[in-house]
Structure 1
Amino acid sequence: MSTPHAAGLPLFVSAGDILTDLVRERDSRWLSHPGGAGWNVARAVARLGVPSAFAGAIGSDCFSDELWQASLDAGLDMRFIQRSQRPPLLAIVHQAHPPAYFFIGEASADLAFDPARLPEGWSAAAQWAHFGGISLARQPLAATLVALAADLRARGVKISFDPNYRNLMEHGYRPTLETMVGLADLVKVSDEDLRCLFGTDEDSALASLRAMNPQAAILVTRGPHTATFLAGGETIEAAPPRVEVVDTVGAGDASIGGFLFSTMRWPQRSWREHLSFALAAGAAACGHAGAHSPTLDEVVALMPAQ
């Protein structure tokens, strides 16, 4: 066990969006759910068994109290979550099928995140840092996170990036996309991300993405269909396990969380084995309502026999 880990600092840190989803039900009631892609990834890695943290800021309101408690319940390192007197960031999901949503939070708490307030020595302990989601489309937070990713990369921390396309990225996102891909050791995208970010067919979009950083490994997920992993000159394809789908919310976050967990827990394993674990994690998340973070036992149960 490394000295930093023994000192109680996390091996994995996700810095990105943390928010509350307000979802309208069929009878026009509204239900609130803690969420955010970056936060979901941190929970996924923590649930699987690697000391993890979510680095971000929340408010001091009822929604933020729920996010704080859910983070405690997930076993995240609470020293990385900052609180301010600003209002919360809300995602208003007024239609589920097809998804229709907008965000409320022009001066919300997430924008106040300050990396200088994180625990001393944390970057020396971290093996991976994950970035993505709408946090990278919201200034001044986006600039703060891009600078943090660059600093961590220079310190030898591996960088994972999942753009997780939302409508905030429709205009002006391309420079951030290029910078983050250039910093990343691993880029995770869905087929929908590729179409929306590049506005072309998937093959052309993937070629454009690879051209931004030929050295980065790329994981492409396609829901229940075959996923592709590219690293160097190697291309690996695998189909996710078949499960009875209850909810696909958070499945992509569970997949990248599973991949990162696998590389940290079993660094000696092959890319194919890491991919298999990632797809099993995403499938396990689909068996539950909401953004479920699967346990190690749930994921292993869906792994193909070796």
Structure 2
Amino acid sequence: MTSADFPVFVAAGEALTDLIAQDSQHQRWQALVGGSTWNVARVMAKLGLPSAFAGAISQDVFGDALWRASGNAGLDLRFLQRVRRSPLLAIVHETRPPQYFFVGDDSADLHFDAGLLPDGWMARAVWVHFGGISLARRPLSDKLLALAAALRRAGVRISYDPNYRALMDEAYDATLQRMAALAEVVKVSDEDLQGLFRTDDIAAAFARLRAFNPGATYLYTRGAEGASLHVGEQCWQARVPPVEVVDTVGAGDASIASLLYSLSQRAGLAPAEHLRFAVAGGAAACLGPGASPPSLELIERLLAQVPVQAG
């Protein structure tokens, strides 16, 4: 088997099941497959790049659903490990505003083993993406930090989206700094900055994040307010195109995936065009229910409707 058989894009982290309350008495629940890094891998596969999700899932009905969804998304299943442990669950007991907690003591995701990934895969990988709650859950976080460092030494490009959740408290600070320092591209939202740095001074929080790695490219998203791309001293601002929003779940994952796709497949274009593609990708994801990976054709149709200017 040669390196040509392996994916060029890999996202490493968590795949989980969202259990979402369907009534105020918490008597009915809907189970949906999810996970931020897993979503990014699915978007890249939808855009046509050979992609994989590297992580571990359970061997029960929840793991079965994630396995099927991964296969249906076109992900390379050699990177998805199945272990005899309980599933990782996100219990979303309120949706407006979202309130949730995670159930995953000694769950399958924590038993991911990078040493069991196919031999030679790093030689083919161009981008490997990290983020989500996987980096806040030991011992998985230690394994992923070691993997990211090894990939960086091997010359593989690293991207990182912390995707703030409540379990990312002061104990996460060192991981945030380490991953930002390793990454070539960092994606962060205004809500991430508020939570990660425990402050309402969002501008100061963004400056602190950039200080961890001034040479990185930063995609800074602000929901309906649009996004900006920061490269050194330069900055570009983009507004969200007018779309009929069905669901915003997965929009952030689609935006970072779209940026990485543009950087790798449209490398000759200016930074403003990469930002335009990222914003169009995030907007396109809002047109379908759940974390719906947008197609390349849909993103390209929205591109002309994304105004960009130097900031």
Which range, TM-score by smaller chain?
over 0.9
What amino acid is aligned across from residue 241 of structure 1 in structure 2?
Answer: P
CA distance, structure 1, for counterparts of residue 285 and residue 305 of structure 2: 20
* Counterpart amino acid of residue 130 in structure 1: H
Paired position in structure 1 for 2:278: 278
The answer on whether the counterparts of 2:241 and 2:305 sit within 8 Å (CA) in structure 1 is no
Q: Is contact 1:127-1:157 (8 Å) kept?
A: yes
For residues 87 and 249 of structure 2, the distance between their equivalents in structure 1, rounded to whole angstroms, comes to 21
Return the letter of the residue paired with 2:157: K
What does 1:1-150 correspond to in 2, within 5 Å? 4=3, 7-26=4-23, 28-150=27-149
Q: State whether residues 58 and 82 of structure 2, in contact with CA within 8 Å, keep that contact through their aligned partners in structure 1.
A: yes
Q: Tell me the distance in 1 between the aligned counterparts of 2:231 and 2:76.
A: 31
SS in 2 for 1:180: helix
d(CA) in 2 for partners of 1:53 and 1:142? 19
> Any conservation in 2 of the 1:18–1:38 contact (CA below 8 Å)?
yes
Q: Deviations over 1:255-293 (max 9, x none)?
A: 001111111111111111111111111001111110010
Query: TM-score when scaled to structure 2?
Result: 0.95
Give a deviation string over 1:204-260, Cα, whole Å, max 9, x none.
011100111111111100011131111122111111212111111110000001111
Residue type at the aligned position of 2:238 = A
CA spacing shift, 1:93–1:234, aligned 2, 3 Å? same
CA RMSD of aligned residues (A): 1.2
Q: Name segments (4+ residues, structure 1) moved above 4 Å.
A: none
**Structure 2 letter corresponding to 1:15:** A
Offset, 1:305: 6.6
Maintained 8 Å contact 1:240/1:276: no
Structure 1 counterpart of 2:92, which letter? V
SS in 2 for 1:224: helix
Amino acid of the residue matched to residue 108 of structure 2?
A
**CA offsets, 1:3-61, max 9 Å, x none?**
83xx2210000001110000001364100000000000000011011110000000100
Give 2:145's aligned amino acid: V
Instruction: State the one-letter code of the partner of 1:238.
Output: A
Give the aligned residue type for 1:252. Answer: G
Aligned partners of 1:36, 1:226: CA distance in 2, in Å?
A: 23
TM-score between both structures, scaled by the size of structure 1: 0.97
Cα distance in 2, alignment partners of residues 269 and 196 from structure 1: 33
Write the distance in 2 (CA, Å) between the matches of 1:271 and 1:68: 36
Q: Could you report, residue by residue, the CA deviation over 1:44-83 in whole angstroms, capped at 9, with x for unpaired residues?
A: 0110111100000001000100000000000000000000
1: CA distance, partners of 2:193 / 2:170: 15
Distance across 2 between alignment mates of 1:13 and 1:136: 16
Q: Which runs of 5+ in 2 are unaligned?
A: 307-311
* Percent identity for Structure 1 against Structure 2: 56
> How far is 1:197 from its partner?
0.8
CA–CA distance in structure 2, aligned partners of residues 50 and 99 of structure 1: 32
Counterpart of 2:193?
A: 194
Q: Name the structure 2 match of 1:292.
A: 292
1:243 aligns with 2:240: no
